Amino acid sequence: MAFTKKNEEAVSPVIGVILMVAITVILAAVIAAFVFGMAGNVQKTKVVSVTLTRTNANTVSALFQGGADASSTTNINFSVAGVPKGDMCLLADGCTGGITVGCRTTFAASKPSQVLVIGSFSDGTTQVLLDQLI
Q: Answer whether residue 25 is part of any domain.
A: no
pLDDT at 92 over 60: no
Q: Answer whether residue 7 is part of any domain.
A: no
pLDDT (tens digit, 9 = 90+) per residue, 33-71?
Answer: 878 876 566 678 899 999 999 999 899 999 999 899 988
Backbone dihedral angles phi then psi of residue 14, each to the nearest 5 degrees: -65, -45
Domain count of the chain? 1
pLDDT (tens digit, 9 = 90+) per residue, 63-79?
Answer: 999 899 988 888 899 99
Q: Answer whether residue 26 is part of any domain.
A: no
Backbone dihedral angles phi then psi of residue 32, each to the nearest 5 degrees: -65, -40
Ranking 42-51, 66-75, 95-104, 116-125 by mean pLDDT, the lowest is 95-104
CATH number, domain containing residue 105: 2.60.40.10
Q: Answer whether residue 92 is part of any domain.
A: yes
Q: Answer whether residue 20 is part of any domain.
A: no
Cis peptide before 13 (omega within 30 of 0): no
Q: Answer whether residue 108 is part of any domain.
A: yes
- DSSP annotation of 44 reads P
Domain ranges, residue 89: 49-133
The rounded distance, in Å, linking the Cα atoms of 134 and 119 is 19
Q: Answer whether residue 43 is part of any domain.
A: no
Q: Answer whether residue 105 is part of any domain.
A: yes
